[in-house]
Each structure stands twice: as C-alpha cells, then as structure tokens.
Amino acid sequence: MTDSPTVDLVTLGQRLRHQRKAKGMTLEQLSEAVGRAPSQLSLIENGKREPKLSVLQAIAGALGVPLQDLLRPEAPSRRAGLEIDLAHFQQSPAYGNLGLPVVKGGRRLPADALEALVGLHRELNRRLTEQSATPEVARRANAQLRVDMRERDNYFPEIEEAAARVLRSVRHTTGPLSQRGILDIAAQLGFSLHYVNDLPGSTRSVTDLAGRKIYLPQVASGKGHDPRAVVLQTLGHFVLGHPEPAGYGDFLRQRVEANYFAAALLMPENFAVEFLREAKADRALAIDDFRDAFGVSYETAAHRFTNLATHHFGIPVHFTRVHESGIVYKAYENDGVRFPADVTGAIEGQPICRKWASRTIFQADDPYSSFYQFTDTSAGTYWCTVHIESTRSGEFSVTVGTPYEHARWFRGGDTSRRTVSRCPDPACCRRPPAALVDRWAGHAWPSARVHSHLLAALPPGTFPGVDEQDVYEFLDRRA
C-alpha cells in the first residue's frame, strides 16, 4: 500500500483470504460489497497487487474486522505461513534463475507436499547463502587452513609420496624436473597438453575430462606463475583424487595441496633435502641458491623450504608475501612469530609492522640485492631473508624468517642490520609521530581508496571466480 510501504503483500493477501473464508464469503460477494471486480480482489489475495488504503478500509468494513487485523505481520495459520514462505522463496532471483515453474500454494496442494517444498527451498536458500557468503567466510577458512598447516609443520607426507610415485613412473632419477619430464608425467596420467591463445580470462588452465586434454595459455600470464607449475598443479588435482570442492574451505585446501604437489615434483624431496643438508653443514642455507639449483621462482623455493625445514632439520620458520603497501597477502608460521590478525584470526589483509624486514626492504638503498635483518619483537628476536618480486599488481616482498638461534645456519645470519618492533603497541609504527600530528591534525582530508572486493560476496559456483559460461563455450569451440 502506498500509505504502508512496509506491509508484506503476500501476508496481507493471506490474511484477507482467511478473513473472507471465515465469514463464508466468496470473491464475488466481497466484490459486490466493496464495488471492486473479483479479478482485482484475487490479485490482492495472491499478493500481486498493492491495494490503496481506501480499498483496504472498504474490505475490512465488508468483512466486519478492524483494519489492523488485515495489516498484522504474522500469518493467520500455520498452513498460511507455509504458503507465504513458498511464495516468497519462489519470488527470489535465485529460484527464478533455475528456470523452474511456480507452484501455487492453494488448497489443492497437499499439506505434506507444501511442507516438503518449503523445506527444500529453505535448504536451497541456506546453501546459496553459504556459497555467496561475505569475505569473512574466506578469512575464517584461511585461518583454519593455516592452523592445520602449522600442526603438521607444513609437511604433507602423503603428497610427498604421491609425487615420488609419479616421478618413479616416468623414471625420473636425478635433479630438477625438466619440461620433457612434465610431458611424460601428463602422458603417463593419460592427459595431453594443448597450448591455446583463447583460454578464458578467469582461468589459468581448463581440463576437458572427457577428452583428457589440458588447455594452457600459449604465453606466460605475466602474473608470476611458472607455466610448469600450472600444468603440475592441474595434474595434482587428479593424482590426489580431489572431488569437486564442497565449499570455500575445501576449495582453499585443494589449492594448497595441488600447489604442494607441483612443488614436490619441481623440487623432489630427496634431492631438495640433500641440497639443503649440504648447505646447512656449510652454514650457508640460502633461498636464492635453492631457487637457482632447481630453476624455480623465489616464492616457490621459499614455500618449498617451509615444507622441509622443520620436518627434516628441526628449523621452525615463518613465511610472508607482503605488498609494497604493507598489506599481508600470504603468511605461515610455526616459529611463534606474532602476525597481525583480525578477530577471526585471519592474517591476510592486515598491515604488517613497518619495522619488520618485509617492510624495511622497500626503504633499502639496494632492495634488489640480498637482504637480511634481525628484528626484536615481543615474541622474541627473529632473523629474516627477504627478496622483492615485481608483478603487474606492484612489488611484493617474499620473506623467510626463523628464531635468532637458528640464524647461524643461514648465509647472512651474521648481518648487523637490526630493528626493534613493539607492535601491536600503536606507538610502534601505527600512530604518527607527535610532530606530524601537531602539524597536520585537522588540516588533512584523504579520500580513501575502497577496494570493492572487501565488500563483495565471494564469487559463487563450484570453482569460485571462474566464469562457467566462458569455460563451457571454450570447450565447445575446442571439442
């Protein structure tokens, strides 16, 4: 109604129908009493027309009930409540997108069928709500995944063994995995690789399960992805027996496992451990050397080091990937370092202390050379080695750190560079110096850059962020 915009039209219609039937009146009799066509009253009862207040007053008078009885928000009966719920569910965009017919909830619909339909709609709505959840779901899932990784020191023996079996199947016996070895692995698993120039923009690869074909971009994406790793990550999903992810947490876990599998092939455990053992004996552990020995990216080498360092050498570690703005994009620790975190326990998206090596490297005279630093924190003193990687999204620092007593095993463990971090004390680096406050407080009005992804729902679908129509049209072209 124009005078009562908060009235639910479906509930209003149900209450009107209930009162009319309680008086034993037909639509025709009510229409004669109020001077309105039966078809108009039928639309009001079905919640499809908003009545004017004058019409509603006439209806209430004809039925002999107060107007407020028609406007009450609760359903007149349990059956009517179920019919209202069914109507609301079927009016939702989510149901409309399914292309299914609308079921009328009138008296011809059996009570048990009505109960079943409403129950199914409630479950569908619950699942869609979970899939279209806020970023809080991702933060909580990521925080739980990091806890699981910490409990096992980021070492997955079952994935190491799966990778070793694959390497044995192609008779790989020494050193880094070559491109020829990758092709052999794909063939051994029954897949062929096809490099194309029209891969959907939301994907890094697309697999035709029926044709056992893996489609990959003809050129590197420019986002820092090793093309070999993309192939091996894709194959990892099948080697590890991943089903379609049941939720966002499952999606994240599968991605971590596939990435681990790819790294375990590019840097096989037995060769990698032997390389690190010799370097540790010389007190010359270095992520740079580890990277160069296996021909991978610095970040891949840093990740792989966290897989092996604690399990094989008893060295606790932490890892971060931090944007030049100071925001944490990735982080892992089993050495007790205290990352900034929100109330959900999530680290990603938090600003890291300006005194940490992940930030100070950006102010170094030569940030692209080897960079080492000790940092005194409230949790103890940590040594870090940091490297900067440039991407289309800006520069990122990739850091591997360890407690003070383990620095002696690393090249650069004798550095004299040292800082003191008192975070989370705001006086450490989050509160501006008093001189700046005195000069600019009340004289500055910054316009904040709001990242829309912080407010948006997570991408829906089995594989979040992937445009299924683009994928299916791509496969149809290639079929």
Q: How many CB atoms lie within 10 A of CB 295?
A: 16
**Of 47, 99, 90, residue with least CA distance to 70:** 47
The mean pLDDT value for 109-134 works out to: 78
d(CA 396, CA 352): 13
Predicted TM-score (pTM) of the model is: 0.69
For the chain, the distance separating the N- and C-terminal CA atoms, rounded to the nearest angstrom, is 55
> What integer pLDDT is reported at residue 97 of this predicted model?
64
Structure tokens at 390: 């440039």
> What integer pLDDT is reported at residue 453 of this predicted model?
47
- Between 7 and 243, whose confidence is greater? 243
Domain with CATH 1.10.260.40 in the chain: 9-70
> What integer pLDDT is reported at residue 123 of this predicted model?
84
456 pLDDT above the threshold of 60: no
> What integer pLDDT is reported at residue 451 of this predicted model?
53
pLDDT band at 454 (very low <50, low <70, confident <90, very high): very low
Antiparallel, parallel or unpaired: β 328-333 and 318-323:
antiparallel
Cis peptide before 135 (omega within 30 of 0): no
d(CA 122, CA 129): 10
387 pLDDT above the threshold of 90: yes
pLDDT band at 393 (very low <50, low <70, confident <90, very high): confident
Q: How many CB atoms lie within 10 A of CB 96?
A: 11
- Residue 469 to residues 181, 209, 351, 474: CA-CA distances in angstroms? 33, 17, 37, 8
- Between 198 and 282, whose confidence is greater? 282
Identify the top-confidence range among 242-246, 270-274, 430-434: 270-274
pLDDT per residue over 215-266, tens digit each? 888 765 444 556 788 889 989 999 999 998 877 788 889 999 999 999 999 9
- Asked which of 81-85, 103-107, 317-321, 412-416 is least confident by mean pLDDT, the reply is 103-107
Q: Residues 6 or more apart from 281 whose CB is under 8 A from it? A: none
pLDDT band at 2 (very low <50, low <70, confident <90, very high): very low
pLDDT band at 430 (very low <50, low <70, confident <90, very high): confident
> What integer pLDDT is reported at residue 274 of this predicted model?
96
On whether the CB atoms of residues 34 and 62 are closer than 8 A, the answer is: yes
Find tokens 């971590």 and name the residue: 256
- Between 356 and 206, whose confidence is greater? 356
| Reported CATH class of domain 9-70 | mainly alpha
The mean pLDDT value for 437-454 works out to: 67
On whether the CB atoms of residues 268 and 164 are closer than 8 A, the answer is: yes
The mean pLDDT value for 336-343 works out to: 87
- Ordered alpha helix ranges (H), 354-406: 357-360
On whether the CB atoms of residues 317 and 411 are closer than 8 A, the answer is: no
- Between 459 and 214, whose confidence is greater? 214
Structure tokens at 198: 């029209």
> What integer pLDDT is reported at residue 437 of this predicted model?
79
321 pLDDT above the threshold of 60: yes
Q: How many percent of the chain have pLDDT more than 90?
A: 39
- Asked which of 68-82, 191-205, 248-262, 442-456 is least confident by mean pLDDT, the reply is 442-456
For residue 109, give the DSSP letter: S
- Between 307 and 5, whose confidence is greater? 307
Sheet with 380-391, side-by-side order of all strands? 328-333, 318-323, 394-403, 380-391, 371-377, 418-420
pLDDT band at 300 (very low <50, low <70, confident <90, very high): very high
- Residue 433 to residues 159, 252, 324, 438: CA-CA distances in angstroms? 49, 40, 21, 9
- Residue 264 to residues 163, 201, 205, 214: CA-CA distances in angstroms? 6, 28, 20, 20
Phi-psi bin for 315: left (phi > 0), alpha (psi -120 to 50), beta? Answer: beta
